[in-house]
Amino acid sequence: MRKIILSIIGILLIVMSFFLAKSLIASKNKPKPVLEKVIKTVFVDTVKNGQIQIQLPANGSLVAKRRVEIYSEVQGIFKTGNVLFKPGQRFSAGQTLIRIDASEYYASVQSSKSNLYNAIAAIMPDLRLDFPEVYQKWQDYLNSFDLSKSTPKLPEMSSEKENYFITGRGIVSNYYNLKNLEQRLTKYIITAPFSGVLTEALVTEGTLIRNGQKLGEFIDTSEYEMEVAISKSYANLLKVGEEVALNNLDNTGHYVGTISRVNGSVDQATQTITAYIDVKDPNLKEGIYLEAHIKGETVEDAIEIDRNLVLESQEIFIVTNETLDALPVKPIYFSETKVVIKGVPDGTIILKKAVPGSYAGMLVKPFKAN
């Protein structure tokens, strides 16, 4: 009985081994799956060489080209005027900005003026007797003397004797002392040197103003200036009088400026040269930040592409028979986002946008708009 059971088990093992071997042979002969090649769709462009105007980017903030810091040279009380001395207030050229009480000083000026008049009047009898030929001109001077007006200029001395006589009486020294007082009297009224806007006011009506005290700032709003720093490599491209395209950071405002000055020295720390751009526009304000695009040299037979399309090996990818290939190029100028290159023949199909993981020999399919 035992032999029969062992025989049956042996037969089953042989049958199972047969089917297992048959299965292994079948799986070995099964064909391997073919991996489908992935072809990426790319954006391309056809090269057409031409003239490329290089733009040198720069930026800076606007400042008023004409600015005055207002200081007092005299002391007194700030008198109330017709126009308030407040920031944002506009004044015309010659209009009074600040009027300081000068009543006490005015009285001293009038006293000196009266003393000069009396000194001249006192020598008139001597002039009639000793210098009759010059008496009339000094008499005419006295007749034109008006205490309420500025002191007229002394008559010209016609002889050395007359000069000694007039100078010896202290008239000349009194005259110049008086003119000095009159000149200082004008400093009690501060007028606008040009039409503009008051941007800072440090005093108000009724304030006691002291000698040397800063009173405010006044700017001309008709013309502004922007300071920009350009690499010394492009210093030869900066030309006085050259027009410059300007725009704000939002790119909603576009203006035209002019290079007015170029610094003659290079900043040792940054190796840049400073240029100053004048711009006029009623919509501009001091402190606005602008971007400038200064015209550089014009490059012949070149193209401008995105900077990320140029490889570190100074090559770009071109499309030949739906396959990427690397083409050596000669970069001329790099900006923040663009690069000007030469060495690409007309009609060459190049990538318009960078393809992640691209390599020479990669199969691609140019995108065609419907």
CATH number of the domain encompassing residue 335? 2.40.420
**pLDDT for the residue 231:** 84
Greatest mean pLDDT among 6-15, 91-100, 263-272 lies in 91-100
For residue 151, tell me if it sits in a domain.
yes
CATH number of the domain encompassing residue 203? 2.40.50.100
Domain finish residue from 136, 161, 186: 186
Greatest mean pLDDT among 185-189, 227-231, 262-266 lies in 185-189
Over the stretch 290-325, which tens digit does the pLDDT of each residue have?
A: 999 888 778 888 898 998 888 888 889 888 888 888
What is the mean pLDDT of the segment spanning 214-242?
89
Same domain assignment for residues 198 and 91: yes
Q: Is the confidence at residue 228, as pLDDT, over 70?
A: yes
For residue 237, tell me if it sits in a domain.
yes
Query: Which of 6-20, 197-211, 290-304 bottoms out in mean pLDDT, i.e. has the lowest?
Result: 6-20
For residue 318, tell me if it sits in a domain.
yes
Q: What are phi and psi of 46, to 5 degrees?
A: -100, 130
Give the other-Cβ count within 10 Å of 199's Cβ: 17
β-strand partners of 200:
217
Residues above pLDDT 90, as percent of the chain: 44
Same domain assignment for residues 213 and 70: yes
**pLDDT for the residue 75:** 93
Same domain assignment for residues 85 and 197: yes
**Total domain count, the chain:** 4
Same domain assignment for residues 151 and 209: no
pLDDT band at 212 (very low <50, low <70, confident <90, very high): very high
Report pTM: 0.68
- Say if CB 69 and CB 200 are below 8 A apart: no
**pLDDT for the residue 21:** 67
d(CA 23, CA 28): 9
Same domain assignment for residues 76 and 213: yes
CATH number of the domain encompassing residue 255? 2.40.30.170
For residue 208, tell me if it sits in a domain.
yes
Same domain assignment for residues 141 and 273: no
Same domain assignment for residues 331 and 310: yes
- Say if CB 54 and CB 298 are below 8 A apart: yes
For residue 32, tell me if it sits in a domain.
no
Domain finish residue from 248, 271, 299: 299
d(CA 355, CA 353): 6
pLDDT band at 360 (very low <50, low <70, confident <90, very high): confident
SS3 per-residue string spanning 323-368: EEEEEECEEEEECCCEEEEECCCCCCEEECCCCCCCCCCCEEEECC
SS3 139: helix
Give the other-Cβ count within 10 Å of 226's Cβ: 26
d(CA 126, CA 135): 9
Q: Is the confidence at residue 185, as pLDDT, over 70?
A: yes
**pLDDT for the residue 1:** 63
Return the closest-CA partner of residue 224 out of 292, 276, 291.
276
Q: Is the confidence at residue 9, as pLDDT, over 80?
A: no
Segments forming the whole domain that contains residue 262: 56-63+222-299
**pLDDT for the residue 162:** 87
**pLDDT for the residue 197:** 95
Domain finish residue from 246, 276, 299: 299
**pLDDT for the residue 270:** 86
What is the mean pLDDT of the segment spanning 200-206?
92
Same domain assignment for residues 203 and 88: yes
pLDDT band at 188 (very low <50, low <70, confident <90, very high): very high
